[in-house]
Amino acid sequence: MQKPEPFVSGDTVFSVTDASALLKGVVETAFPRIKIRGELSQITRATSGHMYMTIKDSGAAISVIIWRGTPVSFKLEEGMEVILTGRFTTYPARSNYQIVASEIEMAGVGAILKMLEERKRKLAAEGLFDESRKKPLPRLPQRIGVVTSPTGAAFQDIQNRLRERFPVHVLLYPATVQGTTAAAEVAAGIEYFNKMRNVDVIIVARGGGALEDLLPFSEEIVVRAAAASEIPLISGVGHEPDWMLIDFAADYRAPTPTGAAEAVVPTKLALIHELDNMWVRLSGNFTTRLINAKQRIETINIKSPKQVVMEHAQRLDDLGRTMNVIINAKMTTARQKMDIVSAFPNILQNQINVLTQGLNHMGQMLNSLSYKSVLSRGYAIVRDANNQIVSRSDAGAPATIEFADGVITL
């Protein structure tokens, strides 16, 4: 680059403020608009909504400011390669120069695809794309919720196709589908329908566009909202070749918004054809049942009243014979028990005689062992005043003497 000629005399003395203002004017005049390509780092968002960051390459780094309200169509991340459009300025309070960005875009499709692939791997590792999470679409939904721009062609295409196929009630959640607020608005629409529970299925739709324009549908906030939806969700974003990350989290991916409408309801002709097939199957089943019933009726043998009476008489005869056998057996058992009972008095008398003899024998043994039998042989028992037996001559005067036939008191 050609070195500019100096326009300030070396002998002029400036104040710090004047020198800073002069430098600021020179920089802003020389660089009213500039494009810079580099890698983002040190991204911070102030409470005011302004964003501060650094854009760098292998040889240098420049401070960047993005004022609140500046459109940014994708989420800024560390290490992302971008192209900034803005103007150079200085910040005298810190004696540094910086770029005030007015536009920011990813540095080519390759960088965008790399970013999307890394985000896809991260979200897939969390299980947000698992097939086990997919919910079946309702067969005939009564109400369909659509999250898209109310002025876009996508919403008109959906309405037209629904009217052609199977008219249903459509609820629109208006959302921008491009720009800095698009991702948040689309996610809010999905969450709204899940909160209100006023639809049977949700369609998130947008027409085709450049890859950068479709990026809101690959933002984490949108993907997580789609994965968390308890209402079946269809993604109809872009055209057939366009694959956004919401497509992997949705329960069904349609190639276009029109395809989403076709997936959610059948055509009238298809329903009529299905009803015809059901009628054929039902009528065939009914005819088969009638034929089977007729065959069963034809195989039934109707007996004459006389034959029925004869069969019942035979059953009664069988019952009579069975009852005679049972009664005779019970009577024989009863007679045996009566014989046993009639012999019981003799058995009882014999037992009494045996017990009587035993008692007599025990009485004889008790008499032979009694001290009275000793007294009957001429002996006597002497007791003192305490009725204790006296066995010695020095025990004192006796009180009583017992003989076999009585007692003498002294």
Q: Tell me the C-alpha distance between 48 and 382, whole Å.
A: 135
* Residues 91 and 185 reside in one and the same domain: no
Q: Convert the pLDDT of each residue in 19-32 to its tens digit.
A: 778 778 777 777 88
| Residue type, position 222, single letter | V
* Residue 388 phi, psi dihedral angles, 5° rounding: -95, 140
Instruction: Examine residue 278 and state whether it is found in any structural domain, yes or no.
Output: no
Instruction: Examine residue 378 and state whether it is found in any structural domain, yes or no.
Output: yes
* Residues 60 and 169 reside in one and the same domain: no
pLDDT band at 37 (very low <50, low <70, confident <90, very high): confident
User: Which range of residues forms the domain containing residue 207?
Assistant: 133-265
Report the domain count for the chain. Answer: 4
CATH number, domain containing residue 234: 3.40.50.261
Beta-carbon count within 10 A of 258 CB: 19
* Residues 381 and 344 reside in one and the same domain: no
Cα 43 from chain centre:
39
pLDDT at 136 over 90: yes
Task: Please tell me the predicted confidence (pLDDT) of residue 9.
Answer: 67
* Residues 152 and 251 reside in one and the same domain: yes
* Residues 151 and 227 reside in one and the same domain: yes
How many Cα atoms sit within 13 Å of 132 on the Cβ side? 2
**pTM of the shown model:** 0.51
Radius of gyration from C-alpha coordinates of the chain: 58
pLDDT at 185 over 90: yes
Q: Which residue has the higher pLDDT, 361 or 196?
A: 196
CATH number, domain containing residue 56: 2.40.50.140
